[in-house]
Amino acid sequence: MIDQYIYDGTFEGFLTAVFEVYDRKPTRVKIVSERLVTVNFFDEEHTIYTDQAKSDRVWKGIEYRIGKKAGNLIYKAFLSEQSDREQVLLRIIKKGFKGENVTDNFADIDVLRLTNLVKIVGREKHRMDAFIRFRLTKDNVYFAEVEPDFDTLPLNAIHFKNRYADQKWLIYDRCRNYGIFYDLKTVNYVQLEISNDINSSLAAPFYFTHDEMHYQDLWKNYFKSTNIPSRKNMRLHLQHVPKRYWKYLSEKQP
């Protein structure tokens, strides 16, 4: 029999579950996000209620005893949302607390998986840094929509804050239905209703500034002019800019 620790899917919730593992010492345990849980008759289910104090203690423990670098990797790997993440990270944390190296020992299968999760999240984060396209709204906010493969916005926040310190901006994750908003002072998490017609060209003048359309048009033209037809290589192009990102790229709009 396995004990299933069911938590709310947040990083704090996960750390709370880790705390409970150390506290209750189950023999066999599986930490599962409530969104992915499947009922089965053999396992015992326990609901874990996210507890900030417990989560903080685990986080401090990780940073202090395993190291800041490891903490960073664990957080990034968590954002991958892959179904094995809780199990891998729990084993990593256990190994780390026992004093094993969990950042460079690539001969260890969990360390390799951790590295791999960090890599795919890092790549997606980097893609978002690159592919986000702001449009200037009539109320003077630079607005962008994204649909990243993993939950990368928390990682993108600092990059955009450092870069666009003098303009208000909002980046909205349409998959996970939340966004990050910078109000010239701080970045906050926000949730909003976005009208369905915001991406239709007919309604665009209603939401966006007059110049906005012109700049998109200039950018599209620029994109075309830089191409060198005698070197054309669509395979390579698609490898760098996979089709699933085109939806929100200004230069790819008809």
Partner 1 sequence: MNFERIKEKLNILADAAKYDVSCSSSGSKRANKNKGLGDSSGMGICHTYTEDGRCVSLLKILLTNHCIFDCAYCVTRKSNDVKRAAFKVQEVVNLTINFYRRNYIEGLFLSSGIFKNADYTMERLVLVAKKLRLEENFNGYIHLKSIPGASDELMREAGLYADRLSVNIEIPTEQGLKLLAPDKKREDFIKPMRKVKNEIIQYKSEKKLIKSTPIYAPAGQSTQMIIGATGETDAQIMYTSAYFYKEFQMKRVYYSGYIPISHDERLPSIGTDVPMLRENRLYQTDWLLRFYGFSIQELLNKEHPNLETDIDPKLSWALRNLQHFPVDVNYADRRLLARIPGVGMRSVDKIINARRYRKLGWEHLKAIGISMNRAQYFLVCASSQFETKDRTAAQLKSLIMGTSSSKWRGAYSSQLNLFESNANVTVS
User: Min. distance of Cβ 236 from partner 1 in angstroms?
Assistant: 3
Both ends of the chain: CA-CA distance in Å?
Answer: 56
Regarding 153 and contact with partner 1 (CB under 8 A), the answer is no
CA–CA distance, 222 with 216 (Å, rounded to integer): 10
Is residue 247 a contact point for partner 1 (CB under 8 A)? no
User: At its nearest, how many Å lie between partner 1 and the CB of residue 175?
Assistant: 20
Our finding on whether 94 is near partner 1 (CB under 8 A) is no
Choices 59-67, 85-93, 199-207, 208-216; region in contact with partner 1 by CB under 8 A: 208-216
Tokens 């094993």 -> residue: 100
Using CB under 8 A as the binding rule, whether residue 112 contacts partner 1 is answered as yes
Report d(CA 105, CA 16) in Å as an integer. 27
CB of 96 to partner 1, least distance (A): 14
The residues, ordered by sequence, that sit 6+ positions from 252 with a Cβ below 8 Å of its Cβ are 241, 246
Task: Note whether 248 binds partner 1 by CB under 8 A.
Answer: no
- Residue closer to partner 1 by CB (options 17, 146) is 146
> What is the token pair recorded at 92?
């990593």
Q: What's the chain's Rg over C-alpha atoms? A: 22
Q: Are 22 and 62 in contact (CB under 8 A)?
A: no
Please report where in the chains the tokens 């940073």 appear, as a residue: 63
Q: In this chain, which of 108, 137, 199, 253 binds partner 1, going by CB under 8 A?
A: 108
Query: Do the beta carbons of residue 32 and residue 101 sit within 8 Å?
Result: no
Choosing from 34, 45, 84, 104, the residue that interacts with partner 1 (CB under 8 A) is: 104
Interacting residues toward partner 1 by CB under 8 A = 101, 104-109, 112, 126, 129-136, 142, 144, 159, 162-167, 184, 211, 214-215, 217-219, 221-223, 225-237, 239-241, 249-251
